Amino acid sequence: MTSRVEQAIDRAAADGRAAFVGYLPAGYPDISTSIEAAVALAENGADVIELGPPYSDPVMDGPVIQEATNVALEAGFRTADLFTVIREITARTDVPVVVMSYWNLIVQYGIDRYASDLASSGGAGIVTPDITPDAADEWIRASTAHDLDRVFLAAPSSTDERLRLVAQNSSGFVYTVSTMGITGERASLDEAAQRLVERLRAAGAARACVGIGVTTADHVASIARYADGAIVGTALVRALRDGGVPGLASKARELSSGTRR
């Protein structure tokens, strides 16, 4: 059966577009604004919303996202708040919501409990940047039991064997890392991303979305030529920080204009 995330990506493709996946930190700058921001993202072109619960050691995140998650943590955001945020968002939009969470947060909360609470709040799946399929047996069981997508990462350095493992165990899409390094804005994207998508297709991945460093509508348009979707984080967080929800909405419209093939 096709999941909600897969259906959203397929609807975009049927409309002649790549999917636009928009990332925001949950609870930033506060819980109520983060809900409004996610809804605005959905109303201004996002096909999938990706929410990042704040974490004290965000090894993959660049300075803009780190700054935002620190604000949320200092305001007292807790994992249980994530499910409240998702419940509020999914009550107001049909755009699927996936969580991008460091694995330690999920383990601390309890893997099955996390999956259960995510599913009951309306969440569609989890992107796990720091766990690989061969170490994720418990998560694979829990996500299957609660009908959640598992989005694993593939990097340009991944072996063909690793890509096959990622493709076999991912659902929703494979998070295709455009370049090695942390998240953040970049002037140009690494050509390695296109080669990696080609390798993922050969490994059996049905849907591949490209993230890390995707900053402009031109970047999105470039990705739309070869991938199923583009993932944008830092540029959206910066827009929210500098222009509030209206600034975020404007940036989302601008970025989504690049999805048309």
**Ramachandran angles phi, psi of 185, nearest 5°:** -85, 145
What is the pLDDT, as a whole number, of residue 62? Answer: 77
Q: What is the pLDDT of residue 187?
A: 46
Q: Which residues contact 46 (CB under 8 A, 6 or more apart)?
A: 20, 21, 22, 95, 252, 256
Contact 131, 139 (CB under 8 A): yes
Instruction: From residue 214, give the alpha-carbon distance in Å to each of 149, 176, 178, 182, 232.
Output: 23, 12, 8, 12, 5
> Does domain 4-255 sit in CATH 3.20.20.70?
yes
The one catalytic residue among 6, 36, 47, 50: 50
Residue 189: its pLDDT value, please? 61
The answer to whether the CB of 143 falls within 8 A of the CB of 112 is: no
* 260 pLDDT more than 80: yes
Give the C-alpha separation, 198 to 196, whole Å. 5
Q: Please give the structure tokens belonging to residue 256.
A: 């989504």
Q: 207 versus 58: which is more confidently predicted?
A: 207
Closest CA to 26 of 93, 104, 88, 109: 88
Inter-axis angle of helices 31-43 and 234-256, nearest 10: 30
Q: What are phi and psi of 205, to 5 degrees?
A: -70, 125
Q: What is the mean pLDDT of residues 183-203?
A: 78
**What pLDDT sits at residue 9?**
98
Contact yes or no for 171/149 (Cβ under 8 A): yes
Q: Is the dihedral of CA 31, 82, 107, 24 positive or negative?
A: negative
Q: Which of 36, 47, 61, 228 is catalytic?
A: 61
Interval 30-89: pLDDT, tens: 999 999 999 999 999 999 999 999 987 766 667 888 899 999 999 999 999 999 999 999
Pick the closest to residue 83 from 63, 112, 53 (CA basis). 53
The confidence score (pLDDT) of residue 182 equals 45
Mean pLDDT to the nearest integer, 149-156: 96
Asked if 61 is an active-site residue, the reply is yes
Give residue 101's pLDDT: 95
Answer left, alpha or beta for residue 191, where phi above 0 means left and psi between -120 and 50 means alpha: alpha
- Could you tell me which residues come within 8 angstroms of residue 228 by beta carbon, excluding any fewer than 6 positions away? 9, 13, 18, 19, 173, 207, 208, 209
CA–CA separation, 259 and 220 (whole Å): 6
